[in-house]
């Protein structure tokens, strides 16, 4: 009996420590979000096929030699990738069941950008709509598009977690403009973004080269088809989001002149929203 009691006490203590550790782990994870890493190259993604629903940070790593972003769109009404492929064969506006939910915007070659979104269960696609320099063909037409399933009961891919982003600045997008809750300053800035406009909008966040302005970048990216030296370089941002959608991205800012633009096509005339005045230029000190 004397031999049994110490063993029972040890087992009980071990069980207590294990349960305490479990509670601590759960409490810690309550303040963290899973991280899904997606690698982009010219011209394909390496990404998990299925992830769990809920708040998720998408980390885009650009292994290619061109700019790439990660645009996430939900296929509603039970639609699948095959339905989208069929719809793409018919010219015209995007189907109403294709809803843009955001994603990490343009990453330079060798760069990494992140965006935190909340995804409900369902069928999605990930795609890159950026064209190559000198071309108007989006990368998705070269293979940078694939399905993504969000389903309950799935172990989160990679099992990596990061601290829940704590926004310090709020950014509102609307037809046709951007509005920060306060001026941006140099350093790490966590930005919560929301689309309050009736149309889809994106936040292309760039740092302008010395002597360049937002109009120079807009011309280079649209009418110039990205030929010649870029007048600005991307610094994070948020891919296209439909009305009412929200997300979070982090910008590591150094002193200089920056710009925000939206190149989403207008629902009435098809022109980029930048041509409707959806640009902003500001100085970060």
> What mean pLDDT is predicted for residues 127-156?
90
* Residue 155: predicted pLDDT: 66
- Cis previous bond, 158, omega within 30: no
211 and 122 belong to one structural domain = no
Q: Is 20 within a domain?
A: no
Q: pLDDT digit string (tens) for 162-173? A: 998 999 999 999
Position with higher pLDDT, 141 vs 155: 141
pLDDT tens-digit profile of 100-128?
Answer: 999 999 999 999 999 999 999 999 999 99
Same domain, 133 and 174: no
Comparing 76 with 227, the larger pLDDT belongs to: 76
Percent over 70 (pLDDT), the chain: 88
Kindly state whether residues 175 and 132 are assigned to the same domain: no
pLDDT higher at 13 or 206 = 206
Residue 225 lies in a domain: yes
Token look-up 């995007």 returns: 94
Q: Are 259 and 280 in contact (CB under 8 A)?
A: yes
Query: Is residue 10 situated within a structural domain?
Result: no
User: Is 26 a member of any domain?
Assistant: no
pLDDT at 31: 74
pLDDT at 10 over 50: no
Does residue 229 lie within any of the structural domains?
yes
> How sure is the predictor about 7, in pLDDT bands with cuts at 50, 70 and 90?
very low
Alpha-carbon distance of 189 to 235, in angstroms, equals 12
Task: Name the band, by pLDDT with cuts 50, 70 and 90, for residue 136.
Answer: confident
Whether residue 28 is contained in a domain is answered as no
Q: Which of 129, 164, 199 is the last residue of a domain?
A: 164
pLDDT in tens, 244-256: 999 999 999 999 9
Query: What is the tally of structural domains in the chain?
Result: 2
Q: What is the pLDDT of residues 52-90, one digit of tens each?
A: 999 999 999 999 999 999 999 999 999 999 999 999 888
pLDDT of residue 182 exceeding 70? yes
Range of the domain at 39: 33-164
The reported pLDDT for the residue numbered 27 is 43
Q: Which pLDDT belongs to residue 157?
A: 55
Shared domain check, 132 and 169: no
Same domain, 142 and 203: no
Specify whether 159 is located in the same domain as 169. Answer: no
* Residue 50 sits in the same domain as residue 107: yes
Average pLDDT, the chain: 88
**CATH number of the CATH domain containing 122:** 2.60.40.420
| Residues 160 and 170 both lie in one domain | no
130 within a domain of the structure (yes/no): yes
- Report yes or no on 252 lying in a domain: yes
Which pair of tokens denotes residue 270? 């098809």
The last residue of one of the domains, among 114, 129, 164, is 164
Q: Both 149 and 75 in a single domain?
A: yes
Q: Which pair of tokens denotes residue 102?
A: 């955001």
Pick the more confident residue, 181 or 22: 181
Do 214 and 280 contact (CB within 8 A), yes or no?
A: yes
- Is 111 in the same domain as 173? no
| 210 and 276 together in one domain | yes
pLDDT band at 156 (very low <50, low <70, confident <90, very high): low
Q: Which of 117, 134, 164 is a domain's end point?
A: 164
Q: Are residues 223 and 208 in the same domain?
A: yes
**Both tokens assigned to 277:** 């005045």
């Amino acid at each position: 009996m004397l031999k049994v009691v110490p063993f029972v006490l040890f087992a009980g203590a071990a069980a207590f420590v294990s349960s305490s550790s479990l509670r601590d782990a759960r409490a810690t994870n309550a303040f963290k979000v899973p991280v899904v890493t997606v690698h982009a190259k010219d011209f394909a993604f390496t990404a998990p096929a299925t992830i769990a629903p809920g708040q998720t940070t998408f980390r885009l790593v650009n292994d290619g030699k061109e700019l790439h972003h990660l645009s996430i769109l939900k296929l509603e009404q039970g639609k699948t990738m095959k339905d989208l492929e069929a719809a793409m064969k018919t010219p015209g506006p995007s189907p109403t069941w294709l809803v843009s939910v955001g994603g990490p915007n343009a990453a330079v070659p060798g760069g990494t950008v992140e965006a935190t979104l909340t995804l409900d269960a369902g069928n999605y696609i990930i795609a890159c709509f950026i064209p190559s320099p000198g071309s108007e063909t989006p990368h998705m037409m070269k293979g940078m598009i694939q399905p993504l399933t969000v389903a309950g009961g799935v172990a989160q891919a990679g099992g990596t977690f990061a601290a829940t982003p704590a926004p310090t600045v709020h950014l509102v997008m609307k037809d046709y403009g951007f509005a920060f809750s306060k001026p941006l300053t140099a350093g790490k800035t966590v930005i919560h973004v929301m689309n309050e406009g009736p149309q889809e909008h994106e936040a292309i966040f760039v740092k302008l080269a010395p002597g360049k302005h937002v109009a120079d970048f807009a011309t280079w990216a649209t009418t110039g088809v990205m030929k010649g030296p870029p007048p600005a370089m991307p610094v994070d941002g948020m891919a296209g989001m439909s009305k009412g959608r929200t997300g979070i991205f982090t910008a590591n800012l150094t002193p200089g002149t920056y710009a925000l633009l939206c190149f989403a096509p207008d629902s009435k005339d098809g022109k980029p929203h930048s041509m409707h005045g959806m640009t902003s230029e500001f100085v970060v000190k």
